[in-house]
Every structure is written in structure tokens, then in C-alpha cells.
Amino acid sequence: MGCVVPSFSPNSSWFDAAQSQNIQYLFQNTAACAGLTDTRTKPGSYFGWTALHYAILADNEEIFKLLLPLERNLSTKERAVVQFQDQLIRIPSGSSPVHLILYFNRVNLLSICIDFMCEDIRIQHDLCQCRDSAGYSPLLYCPVLDNEACAIWARNKDALKTELRISDIRGENFLFKVVQQNKTEYISLVIDILTEQKLINIEITNNKLKETMRDLLKPNKLTNKNWRDETTFEIIQMIENAAKV
């Protein structure tokens, strides 16, 4: 899974500093407190969150850069309901830093994550393969949340290669959710990656394939088709065969 549940902390000052964005205190106490999770019950606090999770909520790049190398593989402990931009966001337990970035559409923080991934393959593993309590990796949320951060994550080759065949607890993979949400713009991303990996050979130099895929995504084409039982490879194979007709 990539992410792990961190240890709980009795140190409320660390999390007070995280929420008040006191970078000096956090820097001075990183060695002792990084990796601990919040046990406060005060309003606005979230049980089981790390300081990195609060940095994402606050959209603080400086704190995020400080803590990402140390807390990148730590997930939230419990479900949380967060008031954000005049709406309530329900966040499952087991959510990773990238999950939260996608929920809150933190494009700038996502760019930092992607830069880190380019530097260290271990960071890529931690950020891409974590699944929340619903079995969702970050990529699986992209067609569902459909915001700017999601579009960037779905177009990142490392994320797409790593998460393409991950399924949630209902057996639904990325391509299933693309079809379910009727997000035709994501289909070409899948084909590009599979073609690059030489898993299939698809000619995409003309519009015929795109038209075929768009047609396959129409609801009437999905009747009596249980996409949960199809692997990503088999679905793409079906699209390829249809495009040749």
C-alpha cells in the first residue's frame, strides 16, 4: 500500500504550530516530532493527522517542503469532514498526502511532489501506491474529483504507470472510473502509456480511434457490459479491436 499509520503524539504544541503555520517552531522540533499524529479534540483539529496533512490544508509550501521527505508515507487515521471553501469535504481514513492534495486542489504542492518523485524512486512508490480505506489510490480519484490537480496527476507518467491497474474495494480500476464518469479526455492518456510500455500496439495518428473511444463511452454502449470484471488490458484490447473495424 505505500502509506502507513503513524504513531500518536501527546505533544499538542507541534500541531498548534502546524495549524498556526509557525515554521520556526516546526523546524526546531522536526527531529523530535515529525511522524507523530494529532490527538487533540479542539475544534478545527483532526484526530490522526500529521503536521504535513495540516500543511496541505493550509496550502503552506514552506512547511510542506520541510515535512514531505519525513512524512510522505503517513496516512490519516480516521475519517474526517473538513470545511473547505464553503463546502464540506468527506475524507476517508487512510488518505495520503497526495489524496489530500487532490481533495483540496493544491496544484502548487502537487508540483513539489512530482519534483520529489523525479529525484527518488522510493518517494514515487510512497506517493503513488497508497490506498485509502475505500481502496482508492490517488489516480482513481482523478475522474471523480475532476479538478486541476487531478488533471495534472493523471497526466504524470510515473503516477499513471504505477496506478493504472490498481482497483478499489469494488474492483473498479482507473479506466472503469473514466468510463463511469464519461471523462473521454483521460482515455488517450491510458493508451499513450500502454503503447509506450509496448503492452499493445495502437495507431493513434488519426481521429478514427478517438471517435471509436468516444462512441464506446456513450451510456447505451455500456448496457449489459460489466466493466468491473474487465482488466484494464482487456478493455483497451476491446477498444483497439473496435477501432480496426
Q: Say yes or no: 168 and 56 in one domain.
A: no
pLDDT reported for residue 220: 43
Residue whose C-alpha is closest to residue 50's, from 60, 42, 41, 39: 39
Contacts of 88 (CB under 8 A, 6+ apart): 81, 82
Q: Say yes or no: 21 and 137 in one domain.
A: yes
pTM of the full predicted structure?
Answer: 0.79
Residue where a domain stops, chosen among 127, 146, 161: 161
Which cell numbers hold the place of 10?
501527546
Does position 13 have pLDDT exceeding 70, yes or no?
yes
Q: Say yes or no: 186 and 153 in one domain.
A: no
Question: pLDDT per residue over 83-93, tens digit each?
Answer: 888 889 999 99
Residue where a domain stops, chosen among 135, 161, 187: 161
Question: pLDDT per residue over 185-210, tens digit each?
Answer: 787 777 676 666 554 444 444 455 55
pLDDT reported for residue 229: 44
SS3 36: strand
Question: pLDDT per residue over 109-163, tens digit each?
Answer: 999 999 988 887 778 878 888 999 999 999 999 999 989 999 999 988 888 888 8
Q: Say yes or no: 77 and 189 in one domain.
A: no
Tally of domains within the chain: 2
Amino acid (one-letter) located at 28? Q
Residues 33 and 11: beta-carbon distance below 8 Å = yes
Q: Say yes or no: 146 and 94 in one domain.
A: yes
121 or 108, higher pLDDT: 108
CATH number at residue 67: 1.25.40
Q: Say yes or no: 110 and 225 in one domain.
A: no
Residue where a domain stops, chosen among 129, 161, 193: 161
Residues 164 and 139: beta-carbon distance below 8 Å = yes
Contacts of 156 (CB under 8 A, 6+ apart): 114, 117
Q: Say yes or no: 152 and 214 in one domain.
A: no
Range of the domain at 22: 1-161
Q: Say yes or no: 123 and 230 in one domain.
A: no
